[in-house]
Amino acid sequence: MPLHHWWDSARELAGAPRARFLAVTAGEWRRVFQDAAASGARLLALWAGNGALAQRVVCAALLGDAGLLVTWLPMGVGEEYPGVQDLFPAANRMQRAAADLAGIRSSDPDTRPWLRHSAWPADSHPLASPSLPAPASPPPIDEYAFVRVQGEGVHEVAVGPVHAGTIEPGHFRFSVVGEKVLRLEERLGYVHKGIERRFCELALLEGHRLAARVSGDSAVAFSWAYCQALEGMGRHEIPLRAAWLRALALELERSANHLGDLGAIGNDAGFAFGLAQFSRLKERLLRASERALGHRYLLDFIVPGGTRIDLGADGARALGELLPALAREVSVLRGIYEEHAGLRDRFAGAGTVAPDLARRLGLTGLAGRASGQAFDLRNDHPWPPYAALGPAKSSQKDGDVLARVTVRFDELAESLRLMQRVLGSLRAGEHCAAPPVPAADAFGVGLIEGWRGPVFVALEAGESGRIRRCHPHDPSWQNWPVLEHAIIGNIVPDFPLINKSFNLSYSGQDL
378 pLDDT band, cuts 50/70/90, is very high
Tell me the per-residue pLDDT of 174-186, one tens digit each, with 9 for 90 and over: 999 988 999 999 9
pLDDT of residue 52: 41
What are the start and end residues of each CATH 3.30.460.80 domain in the chain?
3-106
> Side by side, which strands form the sheet with 454-461?
14-15, 443-449, 454-461, 467-473
| Host H or E run for residue 180 | strand 180-187
Over range 364-391, report the average pLDDT.
96
**pLDDT score of 55 more than 80:** no
- What region does 343 belong to: left with phi over 0, alpha with psi -120 to 50, or beta? alpha
pLDDT of residue 165: 76
**pLDDT score of 51 more than 60:** no
pLDDT of residue 133: 63
Tell me the per-residue pLDDT of 57-109, one tens digit each, with 9 for 90 and over: 999 999 999 999 999 999 888 889 999 999 999 999 999 999 999 999 999 99
CB neighbours of residue 136 within 10 Å? 6
Least confident window among 42-56, 159-173, 178-192, 334-348: 42-56
Full DSSP string of 354-407: -HHHHHHHT--HHHHHTTT----HHHHS--TTHHHH-PPPP--SS-SHHHHHHH
pLDDT, mean over the chain: 93
CB 336 within 8 A of CB 262: no
What are the start and end residues of each CATH 1.10.645.10 domain in the chain?
195-509
Tell me the per-residue pLDDT of 227-237, one tens digit each, with 9 for 90 and over: 999 999 989 99
* Architecture of the domain delimited by 3-106: 2-Layer Sandwich (3.30)
Tell me the per-residue pLDDT of 402-437, one tens digit each, with 9 for 90 and over: 999 999 999 999 999 999 999 999 999 999 998 999
**Class in CATH terms, 195-509:** mainly alpha
**pLDDT score of 141 more than 80:** no
